[in-house]
Structure formats: structure tokens, C-alpha cells
Structure 1
Amino acid sequence: MEYLPDSNSRYKDVGYWDERYRREESFEWFGDLSKFQHLLEQHVKKDDAILILGCGNSSLSFDMYQRGFRSITNVDYSSVCVETMASRHFDCPGMTWLKMDVRQLEFPEGTFDVVLEKATLDAMMVDERDPWHVSTETANLLHQVLKEASRLLRPAGRFISITFAQPHFRRRILARREYGWSVVQHSYGDGFQYFFYVMTKGEALSPEDQALEKRLLESEDPQAVVPREEPDSEDYLSRICL
């Protein structure tokens, strides 16, 4: 595989992504918009202010733009990615590209109606080996990102997470009262399923999710990671060592 790194840890290295984005035109994790458009349009309105975390060189935001979503802010920590994508889509008013760290985003509280991530959280877990536990470092990283997503949402705003992580793993991470949102899951895909999680700001966790959080906190084990799967032809997910 032309862009496959020699170790999972490279996926956390901005230098790897800078070099990849210099050579790679585009890549889609978990399928393009057509695969989950029916779900997106149920939860995102055309006039929503949208933030995409870890946008990469995916065509997702441009595909959304073409379908009438016209207020889209894209952030990534690779300056090469941001410069390339901004140049590529310079003629799309209302769509912006910014270099930022998703752990500490430079926007005021309550800026967006929708915060969306597609495989960004998964990329942060590439060094994890145990499908039920994550390292303290990774747990803290995920917590920082989720707190930022919650902070930036307006009342009734939605955080959307698109992933291959099954509910019994991912809900353990998402379902926390501290974030101030509910968690609802959907799935898409033929054969292999991907998951489309919607967290709505200001809604309470379900009784089941509250019970899950309570059990995890009582066991002092609130962390979890995704299981190993191999859905894509070129995908860091297929190289996670578990």
C-alpha cells in the first residue's frame, strides 16, 4: 500500500500526514457521503453551522457543500492538509479550513450547531491493544476532544461520530453526564457495518447509559477502545495490534 506506514504510531505523527497529504489526492475512511447521507440529513440542517474535526483530505465537506450545506468549518493539525484543501476549494464561500489542535479549539463556547468527526477518534486509538481498556494517555486525549466538542455546541446541537466502533465499545466512551448530551446510534453499510452516533446537547443520557456510566465509574474502569476490524483496503484500522 503506497501510503501505509511501517507502524501504527506513525498515524499520530503530523509529519507522516504532512508527507502523505503532499502526495495523496483524497482518501475516504468508512465510505463517502453517499453511504450515510440518509442519516446525515436526518440530523443536520442545511443552515446549521458545522465544524468538521480532523477533516483530512476527505471530500466529505465539499460533498456536503454541493448538497446545500453552506456553513462548514474544517480543522486539521496538518498545515499541508489545510493549505491544500483551502486552495482546492477557494471558490466555496462559507467553507473555511483552519489548522487547529482538536484538543484545544480556538472558538468561543456555543459556536456550532453540529460538530462532526469521521474516524478522527479512531485514529487516536491506533496504539491501543486491549479492546476493553485504553491507556491513561489515550483516555485523557479522548476526554479532551469530547469536552471540546460539547463546549462548542449550542443548546440542542449535535455531535456526530462516524466510526467502525460497535456500541458496546463506543458508548462506554461517549455516554458521560459530564458532556451534557444523549447518545443515539445508527448503522450503515452492506455486510460490514459502520456506526453513526448522534449526541444531542442538553438531552439526558438514557437510563441504560446512566447505568453503564455508573457501573464503569464504580469499577474504576471507565475506558474502552474499539475492536479490531479490517473493512477497508488501505486503513490504519486493519493494523491496530490487539
Structure 2
Amino acid sequence: MEHVPECNSRYKDVEYWNERYEKEESFEWFGDLSKFQHLLEQHIQKEDSILILGCGNSSLSFDLYQKGFSSITNIDYSGVCIETMARRHADCPGMRWLKMDARHLAFSEGTFEVVLEKGTLDAMMVEEKDPWSVSAETAGLLQQVLKEISRVLKPGGRFISITFAQPHFRRRLLARREYGWSVQTHSYGVGFQYFLYVLTKGETLNPEDQALEDRLMEDKEPRTVVHLQEPDSEDFLSRIGI
């Protein structure tokens, strides 16, 4: 496909994304809003202040805006992306477009009711080969990002993460007491399933997730050989290891 890089590591390279966004009009990871709107609307309200993390050139924020969600801040670390999207949606008051690194969010504590990401965490994990054992480097990166997300959420705020990563892999990363949230899982899609995780700030982990974290901290969970579900035809999915 036209924008597939020569190696997975380029998905972590801002220059790759700058070059891609100069040529590509739009692309949707894991389907457009219509595919998961029925789930999303259970957890966000029209008056919520929303942060979209790693917005890319997706139409998600504009689709939400058209449905009455009028306070949307979009960030991406690609300056090309942000400049392009800001121009494209210049006539949408209430929508902001900011160049920003997800590891260092330039917002005060408790700014947003909702933080939403679709495929951004996956892009940070493209070089991982074993979903049961994420490298220390990637684990540290994700921890930085998740702590920042938790920090900028208001009490009762929701972090919504949309991914193809199945719960037995992704909950290992999300279900941590240090983030101060609970974890809920939903799925959507026919044939190949995608997952929508809802993490609510100020709620505690359920006993199962607490036990999972305890096992991981003790490093006693047995390793298992698994066969992952075949991904669909999207280039990003076909080149990612988890």
C-alpha cells in the first residue's frame, strides 16, 4: 500500500508521519465513528471537554463536532498534521489543534472530562514482538503517557482507548493502581473485533484486575504461546506485532 513504511520502527518516527500527512488526505484506524458511536455515546456527553490524543488526519473529531460535541482539543506530534487539520477545520469554533507530545501534556491537572485515543498507543508499540512481555523501553513510554492522561482527567473523567489489542494483552498495561482508574471493556466489529476500553478516573480496579496487577508485579504469571487473530487489510494492522 502507498503509505506502508519499509519497517515498523518508522511508525514511531515523526518524520514518517510528516511526510505521510503531506500526501494523505485522511485515514481511519479501526473504522470511523459510525462503527463504535453506540459505545462511545454511553460514556461521553455533548458538554464534555474532550482531548483527542494523536488525532492524525482522522475525521473522528470533526464527526463528533458535527454531532454536537463542541469542546474538542486535538493534539499530535506532527506539525504537518496539526497545520493541515487546523486549516481544514478553521470554521469550527471550539475545536483546537495543538502540536504536542503525549508524554508531556501542556495542560493543568484535571482539565478534561474525556481523553480519547484511537490507535495512538498501538503506534507506540509497533516494535514489540511478544505481547505477553513488553520491553522495558516501551513499558516506560506507555507509563509516561498513561500517567499524563490520568493527570489531566477530572475526577470521574474517562480515558477511552480504541484498539485491536485483545483484553488479555491490553489490560496488563492499563490495569494499574497508580493511574487511579477502573477498566471496562467493550468490543465492536463483525469478523475481526476491535476493542474500546473505558478507564474512569477515581474508581478502583475490580478484584480481577487488582489480582492481575499483583501477579505481574511479582512476575509469577506463566508464559503462554498464543496465536493472534489475523488482522484485517489496513496497512497499519498488517505490519504491527501486537
Mark yes or no: TM-score above 0.5: yes
- Residues 143-202 of structure 1 show CA distances to partners (whole Å, capped at 9, x for unaligned) of 001000100000100000000010000000000000000000000001111000000000
The equivalent residue for 1:21 is 21
Quick one: structure 1 residues 86 and 227, their matched pair in 2 at CA, closer, same or farther if it must change by over 3 Å?
farther
Quick one: structure 1 residues 110 and 102, their matched pair in 2 at CA, closer, same or farther if it must change by over 3 Å?
same
2:239 maps to amino acid: R
Quick one: structure 1 residues 88 and 232, their matched pair in 2 at CA, closer, same or farther if it must change by over 3 Å?
farther
Quick one: structure 1 residues 120 and 227, their matched pair in 2 at CA, closer, same or farther if it must change by over 3 Å?
farther
* Aligned-partner Cα distance in 2 for 1:150–1:169: 20
The equivalent residue for 1:40 is 40
Greater shift after overlay, 230-239 or 115-124? 230-239
Partner of 2:115, secondary structure, is: strand
| Residue 171 (structure 1) aligned with residue 171 (structure 2) | yes
Partner of 1:75, secondary structure, is: strand
Q: Please, which runs of 5 or more residues in structure 1 have no aligned partner? A: none
So what's the TM-score if we normalise by structure 2? 0.95
Indicate conservation of the 8 Å contact 1:164/1:195, yes or no: yes
* Aligned-partner Cα distance in 1 for 2:241–2:208: 31
* Aligned-partner Cα distance in 2 for 1:149–1:237: 24
* Aligned-partner Cα distance in 2 for 1:195–1:153: 21
- Note the C-alpha offset of 1:233: 2.5
Q: Please, which runs of 5 or more residues in structure 2 have no aligned partner? A: none
The equivalent residue for 1:212 is 212
* Aligned-partner Cα distance in 2 for 1:29–1:229: 17
1:55 maps to amino acid: C
TM-align CA RMSD: 1.5
So what's the TM-score if we normalise by structure 1? 0.95
Query: For 1:135-150, what aligned pairs fall within 5 Å after superposition?
Result: 135-150=135-150
- Note the C-alpha offset of 1:232: 3.7
Quick one: structure 1 residues 234 and 74, their matched pair in 2 at CA, closer, same or farther if it must change by over 3 Å?
same
| Residue 115 (structure 1) aligned with residue 110 (structure 2) | no
Indicate conservation of the 8 Å contact 2:192/2:232, yes or no: no
- Note the C-alpha offset of 1:235: 2.4
Query: For 1:95-134, what aligned pairs fall within 5 Å after superposition?
Result: 95-134=95-134
Quick one: structure 1 residues 230 and 2, their matched pair in 2 at CA, closer, same or farther if it must change by over 3 Å?
farther
- Note the C-alpha offset of 1:100: 0.2
Quick one: structure 1 residues 73 and 230, their matched pair in 2 at CA, closer, same or farther if it must change by over 3 Å?
farther
* Aligned-partner Cα distance in 2 for 1:237–1:138: 18
Partner of 2:199, secondary structure, is: strand
Indicate conservation of the 8 Å contact 1:230/1:237, yes or no: no
2:214 maps to amino acid: K
Query: For 1:86-97, what aligned pairs fall within 5 Å after superposition?
Result: 86-97=86-97
1:203 maps to amino acid: E
Quick one: structure 1 residues 28 and 232, their matched pair in 2 at CA, closer, same or farther if it must change by over 3 Å?
farther
Quick one: structure 1 residues 24 and 230, their matched pair in 2 at CA, closer, same or farther if it must change by over 3 Å?
farther
| Residue 182 (structure 1) aligned with residue 182 (structure 2) | yes
Quick one: structure 1 residues 230 and 15, their matched pair in 2 at CA, closer, same or farther if it must change by over 3 Å?
farther
